[in-house]
Structures are given as structure tokens and as C-alpha cells.
Structure 1
Amino acid sequence: MASWWNPRTDTPHADTTTLICMPSAGNGDLQFDRWPATVGPWCVVRTPTMGGPGGEAVATASAGPAPPAPAGLPERAAELVADLMRRGIERFALFGHESAALLGYQVAVELNRRGAPAPLRLFVSGCPAPHYLRRYAGAAHTEPTDDELTERVLATTMAMGGNPMPWVVATGVRALRAELATLRAYRIPRPTPLRCPLTAIRWLDQDIAPEALAGWSAYGDTELVQLHGSRLSYATEPADLLRVISERATADDRRRSAEG
């Protein structure tokens, strides 16, 4: 089975507590470049930037091609969990923004299904709760044009300090198109309560209704955090987010140490 991790990028190790950051499609390879190597007591690692169904992964100039992505979010989660278990990785938290938040949720669900240790914490950012997704998307089910997706990729690339070369933009558009297909196909029969605490982050300048984020409370021990910023602030101005993660990481580690 192919590994999720590119050998040129960070890879989680069994003897290290890690924060696994899952990039969201269409936001490029620079999403976590402004993050430090550690947040609180946790080491930061990131999965490759994945495309969507049909096996299209986003190639990056720095890390080379990522491995093929399985068809949907549950399948991707199963592949990631299988790789973590093969490596003996048990002490990790998860962070995902937008569609990657749903992938993080599915990873936690898959760990539950396998009876594997739960994540230390799940951080979901800028994403409605799964059972709100179709209701919240509304007009977003209308297929955007390539020009609209190109405009979004260009704006994102520039905001993150990337070089909007034609192949970068074209790859981002394909990734966004694949991501939309994945989200249209995504269904959950009912909220699955998780065995880990969950922190849901709402960015005040992002167009997501408070109740859509509050819907994560149906998934277990959930805290809701509001931060100033837009949909890209997690990558371009992450200081407040990193402070929240660091505080939770330190508190969680202290609590586990006290519990023995």
C-alpha cells in the first residue's frame, strides 16, 4: 500500500506527538508554510495536498507528485488511518480547514470503527458540521464555471505568496472541481459522536452562519471558537489560531499526565 506521506516532507513518527494538518483542495501547497514546526508540545506535520475523486492529486513544485487519492472522504480517511496504524502512530491531533475538516472528522470516525486509539483532539476550521453541509451549501450546488474557479485559485495563490504560474492555476482549478464533486457525493446518515474533544473554529469574515458551526456540538465534547479573519486567515495570518491550538494542546497534555 502506498504511503500518504511524501518522503521529502515531514512524516509522523510513533515516538512523537504530532498535529497532522490536512490541506484543503485548491488552496495550494503553501497553506502551512507560515506555521511553526511545533505548536505547543505538538510537532506539526502535513499530509500532501490531495485533489479529489478519480485519483487526481495535486502536484507541488517543492514536494513532487502526491499519491493518488481514493474516491471520496470516507475512502481517503480509511487510507490515512491504515497508514497511521501501519506506522504505529497513536498520539496525534488533527487539523482541517473547509473540506479538510470533513476529512478529519472521517478519520476520527474510521478510528472509532476500527477500535483504534482516538485522536488527542480534532480541530475543524471554517466548515459547517457535516449534517448541515447540504442545507448550508444551497446555491453552491450550481456548478461554477472554470473562470470562477480560476479567479478563486488566483486570489488564493496571491494571498499565500505563491507564484500563479499557468500550471499551478490549472492544477488548482482541477482540484477545486474534484473537491466539489466529492462534497456533492458526501453523505452521513446521522452525526457520529467522537471519542475525542473537538474544537470548531468560525472565522468572523467568512460567510458561514453561526448555527452551521454550532452544529458540530452534535458530535461530542465540542467547544466553539470565533476568531477575527477570513477564509484564508488560517494560512496567511495564523497567529490567533496557533494560540488557540497551543493552549488546547498544553491543557490536554497536562490533563493526560495528571490522569496518569
Structure 2
Amino acid sequence: MTLPTESPGTAPAEDPARWFRRRPRTSYPRVRLVCFPHAGGGAGLFREWPENLPGEIEVLAARLPARQDRFREPPVERMDELADRITEALRPYLDLPYAFFGHSLGSDIAYEVARRLERLYGHGPERLFVSGSAAPHVGDPVDIGAYDDPALIAEIQRLGAPGTELLNDPELAALLLPSLRADYRLSSAYRPALGELDVLRSPITALIGDRDPLVPVEGALTWAHLTGGGFNHRVYPGGHFYLDRHRRALLRLIQAVLLPS
């Protein structure tokens, strides 16, 4: 099912090219995979995904404010504002079936955008892939106010995020830590109760590392509460960033779901 991109005579308030990175087309895609990164992460997390997926799947990697090529922009620290802006920027890309992938904080962002699209159009993503995350109503927020810069850097590096060695450089750390702190504040403020959340029509697949220090496997299973369209899960060897080591296996799973033979 495809959706209208905008109402006649209107234009998107958000520039889609600022919000999503995509490679020039070499074929005609059948489905779009919209990817949302973890706290402090950027579109670069998904840089190698297009070359490991068939041309029928077009990857749109979210480019969020205050990081990478948007690092001069102020961060967005309210989930409602962030999800509203992303939803608006996505409108031109809704002419094909689409799915969402979110890792860690990106799972919450993907869910919030999906619920907005369902409210607007009665139909959201073909599937929501949530990775390294419990459902929004579960778990306690991390109190980053108790972390000075060295403690925050140690915590981020403990999780094994790609590129965290850059935080060992004081000048680079000064550039990167503000967006990290802003994302942790966003995540901490976003703790809705189960009754405040929509049950999606979209099916959900939860993906988790078996040694994730932030989210146990049973935590990932709580996403089943937020879908009426079917739920399954897959456990991979590894920690919070299992997807770095098991990228090919993960993308084979996504391909099999989005392009069933």
C-alpha cells in the first residue's frame, strides 16, 4: 500500500534531504527501509547497508540534528518534536511500501514516527524492526546528570558503539558529548506508561544481543505489547552493538522479511 506524500497545494515544512541520507538509485526499489540510530549516533551507522542489500530495498538513513553533517544545529530534546519533524520530512518517501529499523534510542523514535503515520493514514510501516531496546514503557532512564565527562565516555565505550575511540580526543569529545547528553535527556524524558501508547497495526520484530548490558532478552520481548499485527524476535551473540559484528546476518533477516520469495 502506498500513501499520499502531501496535500494538494502544500509543501513539506522540513527538507527531506536534510533528514535522510540515501544513495543515488541504480535500480527501482520495491520497498524503503528507514533507519534510525542510537543515542549520539548518525546516518554513518548504516553506511554499508545499501551495498549489502539488494537494489529492491532502498535505505534511508536518518540524519538527526546536532551530529555528523548537522552538528552545528541544536539538538532536539523532546520526543514529540523530533517525531513530528521526522514524520513531516518522510512524507515525500511514502510513495512506496516502507519499513523502519531503529537501534536503541532509534527504536523509540521509529515507534513514535510509526504511530503518527498510522494516525494520519491508517497505515504505517510494513514492519518495525526494533534493536537493542525494550519497549518505551519498560525500564528506568539513565541519570546522566550523575556522570561527568570521563564517566560518560567510559559508559559509552563500555557499550562498544562504533567510533567511540574518537571520544579519547579531547577536542572531538567536546564536539560529540553535547549531542550524546541531549539524546540521553531525550530518552530519560520519554517514559510513557503502557496506557499512553498506541498498539500498532504494523508487525514488530525485536532484535537483541544475548549479552546486552542495557537490555536483557526478556526486556526486548516487551515490544509484543505494542503491536496487534504480529510479533517475533531474534537473539544474536553479542552485546548492545551486536549488529556491528553480525551485520550480514541481520541484513539477510531483513531482506527475507521485506522481500519474501
Instruction: Give 2:8's aligned residue.
Output: none
- Percent identity of paired positions between Structure 1 and Structure 2: 24
Instruction: Give 1:128's aligned residue.
Output: 134
Instruction: Give 2:40's aligned residue.
Output: 26
Where 2:137 maps in the other structure, the secondary structure is helix
* TM-score for the superposition, normalised by structure 1: 0.78
Distance 1:229 1:102, change over 3 A: same
User: In the TM superposition, what is the alpha-carbon distance from 1:227 to its structure 2 partner?
Assistant: 0.9
Amino acid at match of 1:176: L
Where 1:118 maps in the other structure, the secondary structure is coil
Is 1:141 aligned to residue 150 of structure 2?
A: no
Is 1:231 aligned to residue 240 of structure 2?
A: yes
Q: Spell out the pairing of 1:93-172 with structure 2 (5 A cutoff).
A: 93-134=99-140, 137=141, 140-141=142-143, 143=145, 144-152=147-155, 159-160=162-163, 165-172=169-176
Where 2:118 maps in the other structure, the secondary structure is helix
Instruction: Indicate conservation of the 8 Å contact 1:34/1:235, yes or no.
Output: no
| CA distance in 2 between partners of 1:7 and 1:182 (Å) | 18
Distance 1:103 1:11, change over 3 A: farther
| CA distance in 2 between partners of 1:250 and 1:158 (Å) | 29
Match of 1:214 among 218, 221, 232: 221
Instruction: Indicate conservation of the 8 Å contact 2:52/2:248, yes or no.
Output: no
User: In the TM superposition, what is the alpha-carbon distance from 1:120 to its structure 2 partner?
Assistant: 1.3
Q: Which moved more, 1:98-107 or 1:112-121?
A: 112-121
Instruction: Indicate conservation of the 8 Å contact 1:153/1:169, yes or no.
Output: no
Amino acid at match of 1:149: L
| CA distance in 2 between partners of 1:42 and 1:98 (Å) | 22
Instruction: Give 2:62's aligned residue.
Output: 47
Instruction: Indicate conservation of the 8 Å contact 2:76/2:182, yes or no.
Output: no
Instruction: Give 1:53's aligned residue.
Output: none
Distance 1:65 1:5, change over 3 A: farther
| CA distance in 2 between partners of 1:36 and 1:219 (Å) | 29
Distance 1:213 1:242, change over 3 A: same
Instruction: Give 1:196's aligned residue.
Output: 202
Where 2:112 maps in the other structure, the secondary structure is helix
| CA distance in 1 between partners of 2:19 and 2:126 (Å) | 25
Distance 1:157 1:217, change over 3 A: closer
RCO higher in structure (CA 8 A, sep ≥6):
1
What root-mean-square deviation, in Å, do the aligned CA atoms of Structure 1 and Structure 2 show?
Answer: 3.0
Instruction: Give 1:258's aligned residue.
Output: none
| CA distance in 2 between partners of 1:117 and 1:180 (Å) | 30
5+ long unaligned stretches in structure 2? 1-12
User: In the TM superposition, what is the alpha-carbon distance from 1:24 to its structure 2 partner?
Assistant: 1.7
User: In the TM superposition, what is the alpha-carbon distance from 1:216 to its structure 2 partner?
Assistant: 0.5
User: In the TM superposition, what is the alpha-carbon distance from 1:69 to its structure 2 partner?
Assistant: 4.8
Is 1:5 aligned to residue 17 of structure 2?
A: yes
Amino acid at match of 2:221: A
4+ runs deviating over 6 angstroms = 155-158
Amino acid at match of 2:190: Y
User: In the TM superposition, what is the alpha-carbon distance from 1:123 to its structure 2 partner?
Assistant: 0.6
Instruction: Indicate conservation of the 8 Å contact 2:98/2:126, yes or no.
Output: yes
Amino acid at match of 2:226: Y
| CA distance in 2 between partners of 1:123 and 1:44 (Å) | 14
* TM-score for the superposition, normalised by structure 2: 0.78
Distance 1:209 1:232, change over 3 A: closer
- Count of aligned positions: 238
Distance 1:82 1:158, change over 3 A: closer
